[in-house]
Amino acid sequence: MGKTVTTRVDEELSERIDEIAEEEGLDRSTVVRKFLADGTKNWLIEKSFEDYEAGRITLWQAADRCGLSLWEMIQEAGEREVHVPYTVDELEEDLGALE
């Protein structure tokens, strides 16, 4: 069973959520859950890329943190125009992690 989270939103946002729900044929709660899931995933990916670019984690660790494969993370980097300076050392570390 899920956990209930309650929040207040302004009238304009509430109306937009209702419009989207109607257009998609969904109820308000489903739309809000989808937006929360998408927003959380996006934040985690962005934060992981920040940590990667700062040298705090490897690309493999970033992918693992986000629940993505290394190739999916590389694809995300391309879509977000993130520079991925993938080194031989990182490749060796990532291959070692697979063993």
Number of domains in the chain: 1
CA-to-CA separations, 89 to 8, 9, 41, 60, 94, in angstroms, rounded = 48, 47, 28, 12, 9
For residue range 29-55, list pLDDT tens digits in order.
Answer: 999 999 999 999 999 999 999 999 888
Indicate if the pLDDT at residue 85 is higher than 80. Answer: no
Residue 33 sits in which domain range?
A: 11-98
Look at residue 2 and tell me if it is in a domain: no
Confidence of residue 96 (pLDDT cuts 50, 70, 90): confident
Confidence of residue 99 (pLDDT cuts 50, 70, 90): confident
Look at residue 4 and tell me if it is in a domain: no
Determine the Cα angle at 6 with ends 11 and 40, to 5°. 90
pTM of the model: 0.75
